[in-house]
Amino acid sequence: MGSSVVSVALGIVGAGLWVARPDHAHVAVVEFPGAHHASEPALRHLSEIRYGMRIWEVDTETVARAVERHPWVASANAEVVWPDTVRVHVAEKQPLATVLTTNGLRYVDEAGVAFLRADAAEADLPVLTGVSDDLVQQHPELPGLVIRASLDLIDDLDTRGLVDRARLSGVHFSSTRGFTVTVGQARLVFGLDDHERQTDRLASLVREGVVSFDRPLHVDLVPETVAIVRDRVHLGDG
């Protein structure tokens, strides 16, 4: 019992010394919980936190904003944990797809922004194509609109139980034909807009057994009154 009381007393005294002499408290531990893709060395470099610096010199707001400069980081929040730890909580971006650009394959986040070169060997995500330099020249904001529209279409097909996003291979954009979704052996053609109506029609075709994604089909959902379902082999693109 006596030794326990002594240990507690020493702990209280030690804590009191840290409070009384904060200039004696130095950074010994830097943690980045939530970071997976962003490496700890890269985050530490951005944060400019040095081991041995005085703990009270750490500006948590500045550290958080600096860490957010990493392309994988969506947001960060830093805190000082006395007596010697700086903890930076990291929320990383979640790639929903990849987009093929003139600079190679890049990850696309929830906002539809291409943010980092993708590793083709690891990226098991839908590929968005057709976002060409011509689109940028026509209107600087057009590629972003196309990417967001593609993501919305993927999300709608997934949430309605029509196409699991894990099974969807990609979406190709054409300024004249619209969006072509590749899933299984089927290709689904959506127009430039009015996707809700076209998705409703696809749901009906799937429910009636007319469309199966295990068959090499070309499904044109653009016409206002009918859907055109053809065998892709007969179209010469099988």
**Per-residue model confidence (pLDDT) at position 28:** 95
Q: For residue 6, is pLDDT > 70?
A: no
Which residue pairs, CB below 8 angstroms and at least 24 apart, start in 116-122? 116/71, 116/72
Q: Rounded to two decimals, what is the model's pTM?
A: 0.78
pLDDT band of 229, cuts 50, 70, 90 = very high
pLDDT at 69: 97
- Top-tier CATH class for 97-235: alpha beta
Q: How confident is the model at residue 27, as a pLDDT?
A: 95
Q: 148 phi and psi, to 5 degrees?
A: -65, -40
Architecture of domain 25-92: Roll (3.10)
Res 207 pLDDT > 50 = yes
Q: Please state the domain extents for the chain.
A: 25-92, 97-235
Strand 114-117 versus strand 85-92 pairing type = unpaired
